[in-house]
Amino acid sequence: MYILEGSPFMIRKMRLKRARDVRESPGMFYWGLDELEKEIAELPRDTSDLPPGEYWRAVVGVSSYKCQEGGAYKREKKTLTICWHQEEEEPIEKLRRIVSQIDFEALCVTELVEEYD
């Protein structure tokens, strides 16, 4: 997302809108939404401090095979797309921390695919 004209405050407001849109979609999670809301509430509108610039998006998934009636198998696939902003931190380490602090089962999308006999 690019903002050609806008203040650091408005950049945060646009991120907040985008984060809310992401969270409303099944299987999508935006890390740091609560902190962003709190930051905006406490931040002066004329701030010159830019927010973290790096945007990260990771799709986390697990799959297993479930036996169906008649002996066929279907693959159960669970996926969750996680989005966040950061700077100066190892992104994989940040992702590990995020995954360790969320309820994957409650947030993921589950689908059954590919039948096997």
CA angle 82, 85, 86 (to 5 degrees): 120
Q: Which domain holds residue 60?
A: 8-116
pLDDT computed for residue 89 by the predictor: 84
Would 1 be classed as within a structural domain? no
Tell whether 3 is covered by a domain.
no
- Establish if 2 belongs to a structural domain: no
Per-residue pLDDT at 71 = 80
Q: Supply angle C-alpha 100, 101, 104, rounded to 5.
A: 75
Run means of pLDDT, 10 residues per run, the chain, 117 residues: 67 92 94 93 90 91 85 88 91 94 94 69
Q: What is the pLDDT of residue 4?
A: 44
DSSP β-ladder status, 54-67 and 28-30:
unpaired
Quickly tell me which residue has 């406490």 as its tokens.
42
CA dihedral for 53, 88, 35, 93, sign (positive or negative): positive
Classify residue 68: in a domain, yes or no.
yes
pLDDT of residue 5: 53
- Taking alpha carbons only, the member of 18, 30, 90, 77 closest to residue 58 is 30
Residue 95 inside a domain? The answer is yes
Q: Domain count of the chain?
A: 1
For the question of whether the overall pTM of this predicted structure is more than 0.75, the answer is yes
